[in-house]
Amino acid sequence: MNQIQSLLNDCLIKTKHVEHAAIIKLKDETVWASTLGFNLQPQHALLLSSAFFKNLLHVRREGLYFKEKHYKCVRADECSIYLKNEDRGLIAVKTDSYILVATYSEGMYPSVCVEAVEKLVHSSVDLKWSISITANIEKENVFYLFFFPLANYFRDKEN
């Protein structure tokens, strides 16, 4: 498990109200990391990116077909999309650099899922210091722990 997966697990999955989560890089619309069992294909990443940048009004009106299920829109604006399908749901929150995607299932509270996702995104953007892990590939793949704004970490990893 990589460090970003650990971040998703620690901040989202451990709430017991997030079933799966992933981070999509906006720069190249690829899945950067996902939790165990969340197989987010490139077309899913592109679909969610397009939902924010090209089809927001359509998503608001018609919902979104995601992973073979139709989700009705609960909320859609330039930063967040909340979708629901019976007892399941999908939350997507966009920043300047990435989209954080999370799902919830039957028995989970949607409000707790939303709160956890929004809190993680806003803490990574607003807080001065967050913990993040980087790898020094050229020196024996040793991991170092650094403290700096998480938003900058995501932005720097894209380059």
pTM value > 0.85? no
The CATH number that applies at residue 40 is 3.30.450.30
The answer to whether position 102 is within a domain reads yes
**Is residue 123 very low, low, confident or very high in pLDDT (cuts 50, 70, 90)?**
confident
Cβ atoms of 88 and 64 within 8 Å: the answer is no
Residue 128 has pLDDT above 60, yes or no: no
Residue 147 has pLDDT above 70, yes or no: no
Cβ atoms of 74 and 91 within 8 Å: the answer is no
Which residues have CB under 8 Å from 76's CB, separation 6+? Answer: 51, 56, 59, 60, 82
Q: How far apart are CA 18 and CA 141, in angstroms?
A: 31
The answer to whether position 47 is within a domain reads yes
By percentage, how much of the chain surpasses pLDDT 70?
Answer: 77
C-alpha distances in Å from residue 84, one per residue of 112, 118, 131, 133, 137: 14, 17, 32, 33, 41
**Is residue 139 very low, low, confident or very high in pLDDT (cuts 50, 70, 90)?**
very low
The answer to whether position 111 is within a domain reads yes
Mean pLDDT of 109-121: 94
Q: How far apart are CA 49 and CA 45, in angstroms?
A: 6
pLDDT for 63-79, tens place per residue?
999 999 999 999 999 99
Number of domains in the chain: 1
Residue 30 has pLDDT above 70, yes or no: yes
Q: How far apart are CA 127 and CA 53, in angstroms?
A: 26
The answer to whether position 120 is within a domain reads yes
Q: What range defines the domain where residue 53 resides?
A: 3-128
The answer to whether position 26 is within a domain reads yes
pLDDT for 41-63, tens place per residue?
999 999 999 999 999 999 999 99
